[in-house]
Amino acid sequence: MHVRDLTQYLAELSENNNRAWFVMNKPRYDILRAEFLELVVRLIADISKFDPAIAGCNPKKALFRINRDMRFSHDKSPYKTYFSASITASGLKKPSQGGGPAYYFHIDADGTLLVAGGEYMPPADRLRAIRNQVVADSLGFGKLLKNKKFKETYGTLQTEGKLVRPPKGFDVDSPHIEYIKLKNFIVWKEQPLKKMLSDALEKELVSGFKDAYPLVGWLRQIKTPVTE
């Protein structure tokens, strides 16, 4: 895809975030959206080489809409100023729908690429299942944290929204208690796109997703209890 054209479009959209401008520039959007979809198609094929569970992901459903949900937001700007996609084995994007661990990325109006893997804001029952698995499989969880490529690329899990105290049902002496306090089990990294070409972008994404696979694979083995 034409990375420079996409970032230019998003920069202009951020300055003209209204329906009139969007409609006038719809042909540009349609072309960029089609190119972005083609990128996701290739990414699914590339990821499937080290994570075969991804092979059945529907690329069209992996893309997020550019329209913002303004129902509960003070910001009434109608459009997102980034293109994003979430690639999952289930084909579902949202954690609330049971999407499970994902490979996520977005490109924003500032020309920044974000690459991520794991589960962001999982619902309460799913979060408890993950926390329980941290205790039940403390050795396996510790092994993924020590994975060389994982550490080199991401360091460790993001600590955004971390609890101050252990969640209910977990003791301060529980294995990996600092990770049990997390509300998200995800890693991410950001970098400027600058003059990055399409081939380099795709290579960077695949490399980042491959390094996140130890976390994605570990999370995928966890079964969320079915509540009646």
Distance CA 180, CA 162 (A): 9
Within a domain: residue 17?
A: yes
Does residue 97 surpass a pLDDT of 90? no
DSSP state letter for 155: -
Compute how many other C-beta atoms are within 10 angstroms of the C-beta atom of residue 74: 5
Q: Which segments within the chain are labelled E, that is strand?
A: 82-88, 102-108, 112-119, 185-192
pLDDT in tens, 142-175: 999 999 999 999 999 999 889 999 999 999 999 9
82 backbone dihedrals φ, ψ, rounded to 5°: -155, 155
Within a domain: residue 226?
A: no
DSSP string over 119-147: ESS--HHHHHHHHHHHHHTHHHHHHHHT-
Question: For the chain, what is the domain count?
Answer: 1
Parent domain of 61: 3-220
Within a domain: residue 228?
A: no
Within a domain: residue 70?
A: yes
What integer pLDDT is reported at residue 224 of this predicted model?
80
Distance CA 10, CA 132 (A): 41
pTM comes to 0.93
Within a domain: residue 7?
A: yes
Within a domain: residue 225?
A: no
